Chains A and B, each alone.
Chain A
Amino acid sequence: MTDLIQLLINGLAIGSVYALAAIGFVIVYSATGVVNFAAGQFVMFGTFAGVAMLLNAQLPWPVGYGAALLAMALFGALFFAVLYLPLRASPVVTIIIGTVAIGITMQNAALLAFGSWPFRLPSPVEGVNLTIAGATISAHAVAVVIVTALMVALLWLLFFRTSLGIGMRAVAQDIKAARLMGLKVNRLLALSWVLAALLAGIAGLMLGPMWFADTSMGDPIALKAFAATIIGGFGSLPGAIIGALFVGLSEVLGASYVSSAYKDLISFGIMILFLLLRPQGVFGERIQDRG
């Protein structure tokens, strides 16, 4: 039983990180129709923003986290201005290829700036373990789950209780109608990219202490976030969250109770089954309907 509790908390923690990356993925896709293949590198940038602020600049925790997230928000805006805005009239596939190219550039830029050696990004609750029903739980893992739940709640408030969020949803639903209604569409689109970068930044800052910060950490995150959105439903925020938690839990529980050698096969196998049998995922629209 104690092992199961530990596995569940770890699965939820890793699933929470996937969830934040997947939510960023979905927000950008819903608003712009672009599948951002650089999403994993956004998370990697978030971790390295933490390395730059907390380890290199030696800023205290709150200031360092704030500075790292500000840097990520600026990066999201820059991404919108430099990549999306000039290419938005191009076919979607051109923008998608652009995100792939930027993802590779981001990885190499991080390699140039930080080198190939990983960093140990500490946690504010470093070394603190909790005992729950006899199971030793890392306080950081619990914090990751709580922070993610908080972020989801804040997102819900943003999208359903503020005019800004309602405007973003309107743009995601029908960009032409939103423009005709007088909404500042460009500003709202930019906000989608900023929000995605911020969520990736939070995911990166929380992931850094769980893994080490290294420039190749983005790829597995992108794959898992992609699997989560397929399972949960492309374009659905609740789907992204449920899908990500499912991927995190199936990874950890599958490795423990089925086979550690095939843990990725379990989540990706389920993703393929969804693509074959229910391509719209648990909550989402059919991908082909969107086009």
Chain B
Amino acid sequence: MSKPIELRPDETFVVNVGPQHPATHGVLRVKMRMDGEYIVEAETVIGYIHRMHEKMGELKTYPQFLMNLSRMDYLGAMGYCHGHVLCVEKAAGIEVPERAEYIRVIMVELNRIASHLFWFGAFVMDLGGFSPLMYALQDREYILDMMESVTGSRLTYCYFRFGGLYNDIDDEFIAAARRFIPRMRKSMAKYEKLVTGNVIFRKRLEGNAFLSKEVCRKYGASSAVARGSGINFDVRKNEPYSVYPEFNFDIPVFHECDSLARYNVRMAEIEQSLRIVEQALDKLPDGPIMPAKAPKIIKPNAGDYYQAVETARGSFGVRLVSDGGKTPYRLKLRSPTYSNMHLFDETCTGMMIMDALAFMGSLDLVIPEIDR
């Protein structure tokens, strides 16, 4: 008979969370060296869903690569397409009609709400509450239905074009969006009561995973991760692009640096996005959605171009190096989640595994977007 295993008092063991694990929301793997329930050391392993988007960008022509962007982040695809089209338009000197830019902003903001709603549901489910997910998905469904009626698909939109849009929005969409805004505000009050005000939820997140400003800066964090730590940075305000300067909206910033602060930032952002959509619908100008002389073949002048946008997950950047040909010489996609995720290794040392998973949820990771 074999002898029972005897553990030394300082013995540690390794737990592999993922690549297929419900808490990692995708194919992220975290190698955790554990001392009982406490994490001694953690290492995130990525690359399980690497699809060579940057290389594809170099091989395909500009219009052919356009639909790849919405495959990066399946929850907030519009923002990524926006960054790419803005960068190529800047490089090729294409003028965008005002109406098209307004519709782009409406779509991006609605998509941001949809993305935050999904995160909200999944995050609360990570912590053990199931019914908020169902309510959040129901609200998200209204947005997806609206999007589908205009763009033709529910997640991977491929709606923006260089110079404008694929097709125009109709009165039905505008009416649906106007109906959606008060409905969403009502739902937000419900979430406030059901989740934000819940004592168990608050106790779980208050003081969980303290992220200092320095750590956020060191890793280049953006979105709610940085704004929950008191860094007032939002590309829409700091480096304004598109028609954002014409809208009146605030950037929610919280200084508590814990998971609850990150949660609060995203919930407040939903309200701000609703405000932007409301104003954009009021101000929506008439006119064409594509420029009169939209070039068929895109050939930007040789040069180095960069465009950053604020997506649901943070500051997304496209760097385009063109040699004047039909395909880019180099296309670098700066993914916000990649920076946000790398905080995890350092911060979760010494935490209990359940707290670390709550922390991971508060980072809002979308793995295909990290791996690209």
| Chains A and B belong together in one complex | no
Measured CB to CB, the residues of A under 8 A from B are none
Measured CB to CB, the residues of B under 8 A from A are none
